[in-house]
Chains A and B, each alone.
Chain A
Amino acid sequence: MRTFAKYLAPLMFAAATITLAHAEDVAIVGGTVHTMEDGVVIENGVVIISGDQIEAVGGPDTAVPEGYRVIDATGKQVTPGLMSAFTLIGLEEVSLEGATVDHSLSNTFYTAGFEVAKGFNPDTPIIAINRIEGLTRAVIMPGFGVPFNENNNKSIFPGQAGIIHLGGGNDAVINSQAAVVVYPGVGDVGGARGAVLDYLVGALRESKPAAKRRRGSSASGGPGRFAKSPEDKAALAKVVSGEMPLYVLENKASKILQLLELKEEFEDMNLIILGAAEAWIVADELVEAGVPVVIGPTNNLPSSFDSLAATLYNAARLENAGVEFAIVAGGFSAAHNARLLPQDAGNAVANGLSWQAGLEAITINPAKIFGIDASFGSLTAGKEADVVVWDGDPLEVMTSPDHVFIRGEEIELVSRQTRLRDRYIDLGAEADKPLAYKK
């Protein structure tokens, strides 16, 4: 099971050893195990973790090897770590303080070429604050601009999303080229929605790898009419070839249909729709095109003229139609409160989604949509050991994790917030000395 080679490579990187130094052999026994693989739920199940991987998952008869630490999960629920497909974790510390915001460009010479993950901050307390609630993987996104900045990038291409794990350390970025993001509403295309599509198509066409371009179109190296730099073209070329998905924010049903039509010309392109408030109206078309969506299911107000048909029933209708979808927290902050996604999934369940689909939408589905399901997203032998033991139904609002493992390491359930709480939980302690001495 363990091999020397498997550990040698990580040990050569100092930062990685921080994670693996604490990884141990653990057996979680007695819980209800939601494997998220083919809907299999195992009562009184066993999950065995060795090093950074899941060694075995099975029923109560599964043998626990000698020397493994045993966690009794009787009466508890065991799930994979949660994954959010829309966060700003590590890309901002305080949303309104521009100097701490690293997800948005202004006056830039490139757009789609910008990889936000290169600015990821592994030291932010936001990581621990989210992971103690069960979030272990996250897509980190380009943002909508720096607050109070008049010079924000107005391109429809704000940059590329990345993927992180929340285990800490300097190797947290799993993939810095997870998707090219499109925010059509902020495009500098003249203000008319129809032109956004022209701009997008133009940028994709002129970024096609040379063999696929028509004779006479512009060279791939220089700036194009739409793709501003070689970096932009390189990124968009990967979109055209299907190597990297195009992740487009779109709420309006008719505009989603127009995006689906792009697949006729760019047949290798993998499209993901973000927002998708009105996706339920075009659910059958999404299924036919094989395009997944990422929704904030509690966003049920007609907050813009593009999302007039937003409703709490969106998730349930998508499930009924067979659309593949992931759920993200619809709340206030994509960095600080990415952790709230189980509540959003729970609300979707309260409004007609099946419970199983609710949990899939925050575990295996985002893993599949963003192509990391070979190593994450289900409790399956051989996958990385992101495992959460919950004190009850993970989608409920009054439950929380008792144990969180990320790549085999058990995370201490402590954050800057729990430390503030512990400092102030007894104000009477100030009779002895100021609370600033309580650490």
Chain B
Amino acid sequence: MTRLRGLLLGASALAIMVAAPATFGQEGEGRAAHSSSYKPMASSPTMITNVNIYDGRGGLIEGGSIIMAGGDIVAVGQNLEAEAGMVIIDGDGQWLTPGIIDVHSHFGVYASPQVKAHADGNEITGANTAEVWAEHGVWPQDPGFARAQAAGVTALQILPGSANLIGGRGVTLKNVPARTVQAMKFPGAPHGVKFACGENPKRVYGQKGQSPFTRMGNVAGYRAAWAKATEYKRSWDQYNEKVSAGEDATPPTRDLQMDTLMGVLNGEILIQNHCYRADDMANIIEVSKEFGFKISAFHHAVESYKIADILAENDICSAMWADWWGFKMEALDGIRENAALVHNAGACAVIHSDSGIGIQRLNQEAAKTVADARKAGLDIPLAEAWSWVSYNAAKALGIEDQTGSLEVGKDADVVLWTANPFSVYARADKVFIDGALVYDMNDEATHAVSDFRLGFPGEGDDR
């Protein structure tokens, strides 16, 4: 009903998150506190034959096959031989890709239905809330997860919103139905931490008469936090050195906010920075040099094309929409070829959603960008463009060694499509996560239904 209003609020919610060091987790019954309890669904060794494959790292295999066993990819290529007892799926000349990964989702923290009680994504009580974790707000029963699964999304990062300069930690999930968020957490994935540039923090706090009131205040806020985190890290480093040397030492007082920022300085937590304008991004890069940290990705990077060379030099990914623009001043200069220009400059391009609707067709969003770039004289092979929704996304999340491409030994997160997935008519036919069939469009028994949907209208539709 108030869809437009909901979307506008959503825009102001475009998020941040922060992480606390996993090293503080307490060892319990065999599993560290806050760690993943994810267990892959049951699977059988499976071979999918007769498919055309985008491997997620720029490779194209025509008439190929893939073999999955024990949750991993065992073989990819042409002329593979099935072993006895394997499930054989004839791909019928259709297309196979790594699962889609969305680096920017608010499923669970801004769950459907969009009621007040579901606003769990922005801790708007202070410009720096590095101490909060998105996973503590994620409602696993959000019906959006299943919708995204039916669209071929196998992993996603849930981020806090962008109201704050530092919004809190993000969490990367396997897109599987579960009773707890721990049972969805991507094993071994680092936390992200959401930072926000530009209009949102200064508007949210400026209208309260608080800092930040301006972009100047934004940057001062980040620098003050980093200065404090630098001291915090020093105190912990000194303590750890003494412990290592066998000396008696009293640990510094835990500060949950500083834990997150120290995690970044230690390289354990990845910065996911909401930042539209090129000049805002450039300012953040200066701050990263001042305090010695790495920026993993700029999100909503509408103006990355203006500084693609600088982003390539600094090895920073840009997470972008294909064509969203104009809903706020800092989005006014959006162009449809943004991702293509970033890719062409040798920088890391990622297509993201920030939307429960958009997440269901990131493949189409990549397709539009390729097509527009072609008309502008820039020809990017489709096989390379698939990396925008798989390998490069995994890289931005620090999980590229586990997923994001079809390589032997990686998680068997795989989608079989009904057609070339750069076509609007392609549907995810079968979706595998760690080799397990989690969705088959033709088998209702594989369609997960969240608790919320039971007994309400519309329960029976998978898409």
Contact = CB atoms under 8 A, between A and B. Distances in A.
A275 B3 CA distance: 9
17 contacts: A95-B328, A96-B327, A143-B4, A186-B2, A253-B457, A300-B461, A301-B356, A309-B457, A311-B458, A332-B11, A332-B355, A336-B327, A343-B361, A346-B425, A400-B375, A422-B376, A425-B341
B456 A308 contact: yes
B interface majority secondary structure: loop
Nearest to A185: B1
A335 interface: yes
A263 to B, nearest CB: 22
Contacts of A398: 367-368, 370-371, 422-423
B89 interface: no
B332 interface: yes
Interface string A152-195: 00000000000000000000000000000001111000000000
A308 to B, nearest CB: 5
A147 B422 contact: no
A417 B115 CA distance: 36
A147 B200 CA distance: 13
Given A335-B326, A336-B325, A400-B371, A421 B335 contact: yes
B305 A424 contact: yes
Interface of B: 1-8, 11-12, 112-115, 143-144, 147, 199, 203, 207, 305-306, 308-309, 323-329, 332-337, 341, 345, 355-358, 360-361, 364, 367-368, 370-372, 375-378, 422-427, 452-453, 456-458, 461, 463
Nearest to B323: A337
A397 B376 contact: no
A399 interface: yes
Contacts of B358: 331-332
Interface in A97-120: 97
A3 interface: no
A284 interface: no
B7 A306 contact: no
B336 A417 contact: yes
A334 B332 CA distance: 15
Interface string A72-101: 000000000000000000000111110000
Interface string A212-226: 000000000000000
Contacts of A334: 4
Contact of B458 (A184, A275, A309, A418): A309
A400 B326 contact: no
Given A94-B332, A302-B456, 13 more contacts: A95-B8, A95-B327, A251-B1, A303-B114, A306-B1, A309-B458, A331-B324, A332-B327, A346-B424, A347-B424, A351-B427, A421-B337, A425-B337
A304 to B, nearest CB: 5
A313 B305 contact: no
A144 interface: yes
A143 B364 CA distance: 28
B311 to A, nearest CB: 11
B424 A343 contact: yes
Contact of B147 (A301, A307, A427): A301
A196 B113 CA distance: 22
Nearest to B305: A424
Top 6 closest pairs, chain A to chain B, by CB: A309-B458, A346-B424, A185-B1, A336-B326, A398-B371, A309-B457
A301 B144 contact: yes
A305 interface: yes
A249 to B, nearest CB: 6
A300 B463 CA distance: 7
Nearest to A339: B323
Contacts of A251: 1
Interface in A322-357: 330-337, 340, 343, 346-347, 349-351
A333 B324 contact: yes
Given A184-B1, A425-B341, A305 B334 contact: no
Contacts of B422: 397-398
A28 interface: no
Nearest to A391: B375
Contacts of A305: 113, 115
A93 B424 CA distance: 29
Contact of B113 (A308, A311, A350): A308
A425 B3 CA distance: 35
A412 interface: no
A304 B114 contact: yes
A395 interface: yes
A330 B364 CA distance: 14
A6 to B, nearest CB: 36
A406 interface: no
A83 B6 CA distance: 25
A349 B327 CA distance: 28
Contact of A397 (B334, B371, B427): B371
A257 interface: no
A275 B371 CA distance: 30
Nearest to B199: A96
Interface centre among A93, A144, A332 (most CB of B within 10 A): A332
A424 B341 contact: yes
A340 B324 CA distance: 10
With most chain A CB atoms within 10 A of its CB, the pick from B324, B326, B356 is B326
A303 B3 CA distance: 8
Nearest to B12: A96
Contacts of B333: 420
A134 interface: no
Contacts of B356: 301, 303
Nearest to A350: B425
A422 B423 CA distance: 27
Nearest to B366: A397
